[in-house]
Amino acid sequence: MNHALSLEHAWDIRAHHVIAVVAVLVFGLGVKQFLFPPRHAEANINAVPSLSMSIMQMHSNINMKTLPVEYLRVKNNRE
């Protein structure tokens, strides 16, 4: 009988510890959000010179002669 009572008491103490840890974490998160509020992102509308530029215009401005040549190395699977 004494053993069952001590196990019940141990689970009761463990539950109180879990509740205390969760309460401290929630409180700490609330304090952090209060002291360091999240910043709002600012849009930079000057990042693109013209918003009306289409993809076709971007691709037509590429000078194909100045692009570097890419070489592919094909590995022979028989080696």
Domain boundaries, the chain: 1-37
pLDDT at residue number 21: 96
In the block, tokens 């080696």 appear at 79
Nearest CA-CA partner of 58 in 48, 70, 47: 48
- Position 29 scores a pLDDT of 94
What is the full per-residue pLDDT of the chain (79 aa) written as tens digits? 455 567 777 778 888 999 999 999 999 999 999 999 888 877 666 665 555 666 777 777 777 777 777 777 777 666 5
Structure tokens at 58: 């971007």
pLDDT, residue 65, reads 76
pTM, full prediction: 0.43
